[in-house]
Amino acid sequence: MEKEILAEIKDLSVTYPTRIGSVSAVDHVNFNIYKGEILGLVGESGCGKSTLGKALLRMIDPPGEISNGKIVFRGENIMEYDYNHLRDFRGRHVSMIFQDPMTSLNPVQRVDEHLIETIQVHEPQTKEDSALQRSKVMIERLGIGIERLYSYPHQLSGGMRQRVMTGIGLILNADLIIADEATTSLDVIVEAKLADQLREIRDEFGVSLLLITHNIALVAEMADRIAVMYAGHLVEIGDIYKIFEEPKHPYTQGLLASVPNIRFDTNEHLYKMPGEPPNLTHPPLGCRFHPRCPHAMPICSQREPLLVEIEEGWSVHCWLYQEQSS
């Protein structure tokens, strides 16, 4: 059965001008998000994951800009939306759970005011009593007591604030939810509950979830597919089981090998990837990973590889898997 494409990201680039040159935080990225799937987006800090998530909502703050590409959602290019259309699109069709709830929540608004405002901005016809009832249901579903609806952000723990942010992201039943480090402030028990709730919501409403995280174990548990970013490039994307079983890109191999494994022999050392991510104001020529790559070939430092499909639904951005004459 063919999957239904919800969003197509085509040749997307995000750049930031600096005093010493332009930084391509996201550089010509291509991938699809399918209806009802959970796609895990992983990579080292600074690789462009959060920037990509914000770009999907056109929330790049100046002087940064989406310098190239299209974001096609249900057949419409949102790069062509005007302000009013874009404002309606955010939250109703695509919502984002931000990673820092203390700065994302308004400190002078109670929890109920955050949730009711979110509903009524997009559904002006909804009465306050009805919006409040929906807010209570959502808060209870996320494991927060009803009495906390009337608390201010500073009166909540970090984990509770994160769950409030999650509730704001889920309250409108959007088609796509972008979760940017949504479990960062949570202990392992609450994290497991939230993971279960996100899966239940996906199964119940058919929403798609883009899970941006450093937590490889969470991706392994939740995701249907995994996308790996390095230095602004998408280097590998495919089925979660296939990539975990036999990662193709050398960076993906190193990333997975760096995760602690309780099955390791006690005398075995944890793998540490050599080198550091590149300075994106002056990235290396060719493949950006080649200075750290154990399989680097001469062509790797000369020309950038393409993202090529090695089998259906599995693509890799590496010279090891394409014709060097292409």
Average pLDDT estimate for 139-166: 88
Taking only Cα atoms into account, the Rg of the chain, rounded to an integer number of angstroms, comes to 21
Evaluate whether residue 321 is within a structural domain: no
Angle at 132 between CA 129 and CA 137, to 5 degrees: 130
Name the pLDDT band for 259 (thresholds 50, 70, 90).
Answer: confident
Residue-wise pLDDT tens digits, 194-205 = 788 788 888 887
Evaluate whether residue 31 is within a structural domain: yes
Evaluate whether residue 227 is within a structural domain: yes
Residue-wise pLDDT tens digits, 223-243 = 999 999 999 999 999 999 999
CA gap 26, 12 in Å, rounded: 7
Evaluate whether residue 87 is within a structural domain: yes
Evaluate whether residue 323 is within a structural domain: no
pLDDT for residue 169 is more than 90: no
Q: What is the count of structural domains for the chain?
A: 1
pLDDT of residue 224: 95
Find the CATH number of the domain harbouring 21. 3.40.50.300
- This prediction has a pTM of 0.90
What is the overall mean pLDDT for the chain?
90
Evaluate whether residue 28 is within a structural domain: yes
pLDDT for residue 248 is more than 70: yes
pLDDT of residue 197: 79
Q: What single-letter amino acid sits at 277?
A: P
* Structural domain range at position 23: 5-262+271-305
Evaluate whether residue 245 is within a structural domain: yes
Evaluate whether residue 322 is within a structural domain: no
